[in-house]
């Protein structure tokens, strides 16, 4: 059985501490620690999943559309793959040491939907999870590079990039949204706003969910009934706001 990862603490234990780098464009000292969205690009390290494949098939585009951790610590992911040599690519993927299985869900021309099971989460996912940063789908892999959007408070994003710099050979901030992230309407109270963002970051709204209502309640120090009621009220306001905006 594969042992589950312990996340950021495990990664830090295997890395030599470095001087904290300075990141410009992610907020100045004393600035409001608001929510923001950052688009990151980083080079897949040698030996990592997709390292050889993405270089051997430079025209291939892999979009990770969803993923969740299985009880034994392995990870199942839904992939949308685009490339000229899907059969050859599929065989190469199955030969990767971290890949347990690849199932073809659908194929249409140069595109396919695959379900893949791998032995472990990537270091990026472990760090993002420990820092409670929201990782958006799709996550894109092409020609040795990984591109992803993450959302969280500026302080969280600064620390995320700092930790990724310790792990990956090249990390680039491709885009930084300076405006406050508007994922909820102004009708929500600050407490409802915060509750929704905490649930999002924990993976409660992922499909499939990365955390159950009971697990989220324990994580946030709330009773299951109060958490359920709070989320229901916030979700109702979201639906009402969407209905009003459509007229």
Q: What pTM did the predictor assign?
A: 0.61
pLDDT at site 181: 42
**Do the beta carbons of residue 163 and residue 8 sit within 8 Å?**
yes
pLDDT at site 185: 43
Q: How many residues does the chain have?
A: 247
pLDDT at site 162: 94
Rounded Cα distance, 107 and 205, in Å: 28
DSSP helix/strand/coil, 17 = coil
Strands (E), 168-222: 171-177
pLDDT at site 247: 44
Q: Please list the ranges in the chain whose pLDDT falls under 50.
A: 1-6, 8-24, 29-30, 179-186, 244-247
Q: Report strand pairing: 139-142 vs 145-153.
A: antiparallel
Nearest to 70 by CA among 160, 1, 161: 1
pLDDT at site 35: 83
**Do the beta carbons of residue 62 and residue 97 sit within 8 Å?**
no
Q: Tell me the domain boundaries of the chain.
A: 33-177, 190-246
Sign of CA dihedral 220, 226, 230, 231: positive
DSSP helix/strand/coil, 206 = coil
Backbone angles phi, psi at 89, to 5 degrees: -65, -40
3-state secondary structure 67-135: EEECCCCCEEEEEEEECCCHHHHHHHHHHCCCEEEEEEEEEECCEEEEEEEECCCCHHHHHHHHCCCEE
Buried b (16+ CB within 10 A) or exposed e, 108-124: eeeebbbebebebbbbb
Quote the DSSP letter at residue 143.
Answer: T
**Do the beta carbons of residue 40 and residue 161 sit within 8 Å?**
yes
Q: Report strand pairing: 61-69 vs 75-82.
A: antiparallel
Condensed to tens digits (0 to 9), the pLDDT of residues 50-99 reads 888 888 998 889 999 888 888 888 999 999 998 878 999 999 999 999 99
């Amino acid at each position: 059985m594969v042992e589950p990862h312990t996340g950021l603490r495990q990664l830090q234990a295997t890395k030599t501490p470095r001087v904290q780098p300075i990141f410009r464009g992610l907020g100045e000292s004393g600035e409001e620690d608001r929510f923001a969205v950052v688009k990151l690009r980083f080079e897949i390290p040698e030996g990592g999943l997709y390292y050889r494949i993405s270089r051997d098939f430079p025209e291939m585009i892999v979009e990770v559309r969803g993923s969740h951790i299985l009880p034994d610590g392995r990870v199942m992911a839904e992939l949308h793959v685009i490339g000229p040599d899907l059969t050859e690519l599929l065989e190469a993927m199955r030969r990767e040491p971290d890949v347990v299985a690849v199932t073809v869900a659908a194929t249409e021309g140069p595109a396919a939907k695959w379900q893949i099971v791998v032995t472990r989460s990537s270091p990026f996912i472990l760090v993002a999870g420990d820092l409670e940063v929201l990782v958006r789908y799709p996550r894109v892999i092409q020609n040795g590079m990984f591109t992803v959007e993450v959302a969280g408070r500026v302080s969280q994003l600064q620390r995320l990039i700092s930790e990724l710099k310790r792990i990956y050979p090249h990390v680039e901030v491709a885009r930084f949204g300076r405006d406050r992230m508007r994922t909820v309407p102004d009708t929500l109270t600050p407490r409802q706003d915060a509750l929704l963002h905490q649930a999002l970051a924990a993976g409660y709204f992922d499909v499939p969910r990365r955390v159950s209502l009971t697990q989220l309640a324990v994580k946030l120090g709330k009773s299951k009934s109060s958490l359920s009621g709070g989320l229901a009220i916030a979700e109702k306001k979201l639906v009402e706001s969407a209905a009003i905006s459509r007229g």
